[in-house]
Structure 1
Amino acid sequence: MPELTRKEYRQQQKQAEREAEKRDEKRVETEREYAKAAHEPRKAPRAPHRGDFDEQTFKKVNSMKKRLNWAIGIVVVLLLVVAMVLFKL
């Protein structure tokens, strides 16, 4: 394999940089086009409108809310108990 001169090496490096810049410009342009297409409201996919909850779903959601509130309350009380035991408040 022949040795490269310093000038040939620099030329190869510059050529590689130019190619990388071209690829980067093309990538940026493609990303811009994609961003424009994604932000247009008529082209963006929409979730179907489900309307109000039916009665069964409403009851399930409310019961889960109550359980979550109870769980949060119990965790807070337990944290206070642990703090009192650790710090002897």
Structure 2
Amino acid sequence: MSDSLERGLIERVECLESDDENLDSKLDGIDAWLQSPLAWNGGRRRLMLYGADVDDILPSHKGTLSDGMGYLFLPETPDFSTGDQSGAFFLQLG
């Protein structure tokens, strides 16, 4: 078994219609939740990752996130030098 990953392509597209029902992968924008809203006291949601997009990014790991959403929360000014927790990643599965 190989430790290398087959990597796909990430394409950045400007989304003009960011709203609370837009469950696409996106940076910042308006929060859209697959299930109940999430909160993390250390910061705000900065990235939403749609499961089907993971299939495109990592084609050898199709179905990893299925029809779910991943949410990355980061503080306004993360300090990665301390080795402490600098953010939080949550999953909601459909």
Shorter chain as denominator, the TM-score bin is: under 0.3
Higher strand share: 2
Compute the TM-score of the two structures, normalised by the length of structure 1. Answer: 0.13
Higher helix share: 1
Q: Which has the higher contact order (CA 8 A, sep 6+)?
A: 2
Decide which structure has the larger Cα Rg and report it.
1
